[in-house]
Amino acid sequence: MVLANTSAASVLNADLHCHSVVSDGTLTPEALAQRARANGVDLWALTDHDEVGGQARALAAAHEVGLKYLSGVEISVTFAGVTVHIVGLGFDPTNADLVAGLKRTRGGRAERAQEMSAGLAAVGIKDAYEGALKYVGNPDLISRTHFARHLVESGVCQDTHEVFRRFLTEGKPGFVPHRWASLRDAVHWITGAGGMAVVAHPARYKFTPTEEYALFTEFKAHGGQGVEVLTGSHTAAEAVKYAELAQELDLYASRGSDFHSPDESHTDLGTLPYLSGKLKPVWEALSHRVQ
């Protein structure tokens, strides 16, 4: 029986967004592959922030447990003064331009972390840099998440969301503005390496409708083709909004939990609803890149 609004391609448990200890997740690529498998994922991608150092391990671990795999990354971009995340899928992770671009994007994180620590010290939270470092798996990738874990563990806050709200977002003592990659560069690194660029969790950005339109217009002009419709950070209403946007703008739709940690993430790997059959899934266009 064929159900209305479904197609074989959309009914696939694809989870194309998550993080390991190679960026700001708490599980290894191997543990993530096992967890994805246990949760019924069919097609998986590890998308560490600004870093492809975990890709070979993730691919090997995926095959070890019988999962199909697409290479992945989540690139930090500054667009109209706001940090936007662009997911790359199905690219060659050894591509020299991509690897060099990501290395440049990671550069400056250590200095930013020192400034964050100074900001926190000014409100009485001492040695936050040293504290955050204890949670860092990749010395090249200290992130706000590591500070958040330290502030929870040391009893300053109850959970990481409280840390972000009180200390790590714009205007708060531990927030340091940072200039990431350009939208153009991020999209070109991904497409130049044979992959597809996807706007991550679009509802998270505080854009006006005009700014959002500009983001998607420029993204498409640079060669971007996808948008995350289903993500752990979208409400049901936001998922509907971005499903409509995917159709209006003729973008491929993606699905990914954005899982970081069993203790912190409310959406586990492989547990989102299926994509609507009205949408074109990103994995249809990337079938030749699935390993």
Q: Which residues bind ligand AMP (CB under 6 A)?
A: 24, 49, 76, 143-145, 160-161, 164, 260
CA distance 236 to 256: 14
Q: Give which of 137, 131, 133, 182 is closest to 152, Cα–Cα.
A: 131
Cβ closest to ligand AMP, residue 242 vs residue 258: 258
Q: How far is the CB of 145 from ligand AMP (least distance, A)?
A: 4
CA distance 227 to 79: 16
Residue nearest to ligand AMP (CB): 143
Among Mn ion, ligand AMP, none, residue 160 binds (CB under 5-8 Å by kind): ligand AMP
Q: What is the 3-state secondary structure (H, E, C) of 125-170?
A: CCCHHHHHHCCCCCCCCCCHHHHHHHHHHCCCCCCHHHHHHHHHCC
- 227-256 positions binding Mn ion, by CB under 5 A: none
Q: How far is the CB of 206 from Mn ion (least distance, A)?
A: 14
The tokens 């009485």 sit on which residue?
124
Cβ closest to ligand AMP, residue 71 vs residue 258: 258
- 57-96 positions binding Mn ion, by CB under 5 A: 74, 85
Residue 96, H or E segment: helix 96-106
Which residue stretch of 24-32, 92-100, 118-126, 242-250 sits at the interface with Mn ion (rule: CB under 5 A)?
24-32
266 DSSP 8-state letter: S
Q: Tell me if 258 contacts Mn ion by CB under 5 A.
A: yes
CA distance 136 to 205: 26
Q: Tell me if 109 contacts Mn ion by CB under 5 A.
A: no
Cβ closest to Mn ion, residue 200 vs residue 243: 200
- Residues near Mn ion (CB under 5 A) are 24, 74, 85, 200, 258
